[in-house]
Structure 1
Amino acid sequence: MSENQISTTELTSQYIAQVTNDLERNSKEQERIATDIAALQEQLLALQHDHSVLVNMHQALGGASPVAGTSPAKPSVPSQSSAGTKRSKAATQVKEAKAVKPRKTAATGAKKTVAKKSETGGAAAKAPKTAAQPSLVDLIRGHLEAQNEPRSAAEITTALTTAHPDRTIKTTVVRTTLENLVARSSAHRNKQGSSVFYTAATDAAGAKAEPAAAGN
């Protein structure tokens, strides 16, 4: 075999290898583009469906000029240029859909604001009830005035706890309050043995307290 024939054979082999590689790359590129086109077509159909729903909503709300949409295209083997056009249309429809969605968000925000105002108003309406509750001093003074006999701090605590189960009333606090009332001449203290009893500082209570003190 001559040198020319050998060179021609080697050159032909190189061309064949290069063309084979180009064919493989071309086939893979076609598969990739076809896959992209199929995905974009699905996205486009979904966007067109959403667009139809939004147009119906726009008309139902009394809109005069609903946003115009495009009919779904179903090419069997679309070219690369048509795929680029579909990408552009898909991007446009996404922007249109986003432009409509904030209306729902604004309405939802308005509902939340009204709900918060209602809750705030309810809390404000309940506040006067809490503020209007009598103090422990008033409760103790009122209890003593309603009694015909002296009462100990423990007895007063039990009676007030039963009458006001929603409040936490401790005997030590009641005893301290009673002593403060005695110091202000708003109550009388009578000691019988190791026990201490209290009465309201009224004329009738004072009259009862004097014989009891004389008996002791």
Structure 2
Amino acid sequence: MKKTKLFSGLGVLALIGGILVAADHIDAPSSSGTTADIADFYGFEPSEGSDHTVFVVDLQSNVLPDLAYGTFDESILTEINIDTNNDLVEDLVIQAIPRNGRMYFFGLQPPSQTGLSGTILVDAPLGSVEISQATAITETTSDGIQLFAGPRQDAFYFDFFQFNAVIGGMAPGGFKTADEAEDTFNGANTMSIVVEVPNSLLGSTSGTNALGLTVYKAWVTTNKKQ
């Protein structure tokens, strides 16, 4: 199998499940505030009973309105890792890396190596899509995989400043009510990578969530070229 240069891991964010969300917005020191910073990772069915799964990776949580059309870093490889046998080791990987205004996707194959480092699976191209700017652009592959990459409004609702006040002991009244809370990330954007995959290509689900539903265990990593 052809391989490219080694990419070593910087950020990791995990989720388990069909309708679960993982968010941190402040990554490890090596990637916090950089183009490798993972803001959110979502996995869900696009509609109830669908036989597809959507994975959304949001990077760069500090893309503010005046920087609404940011860019992806060509030195960063983003990997969506999927465990299909419940051993918490990736069995399938979806890779995304930008080049010259397009996002190229590889995988839905076993990784060349597991863990925080990896190489691009150049022998397993999934497809590519033009990186969106003002207008959303999607591509659908012959296998029915839908691809998107570009800026999206940050979906994470969180009163960040009140949270800091509470944990810092500066808010004796505690958290604000839903009507009083402020959405700190309103108007901010992320650089988003979206892949919708037919479940037939993902194999077996590997876990059970809190609702008793069988789900895929998945996590995302960002890796920088060495």
- TM bin, normalised by shorter chain, reads under 0.3
Bigger fraction of residues in strand: 2
- TM-score scaled to structure 2, two decimals? 0.16
- TM-score scaled to structure 1, two decimals? 0.16
* Structure with more contact order per residue of length (Cα contacts < 8 Å, sep ≥ 6): 2
Q: Which of 1 and 2 has greater Rg?
A: 1
Bigger fraction of residues in helix: 1
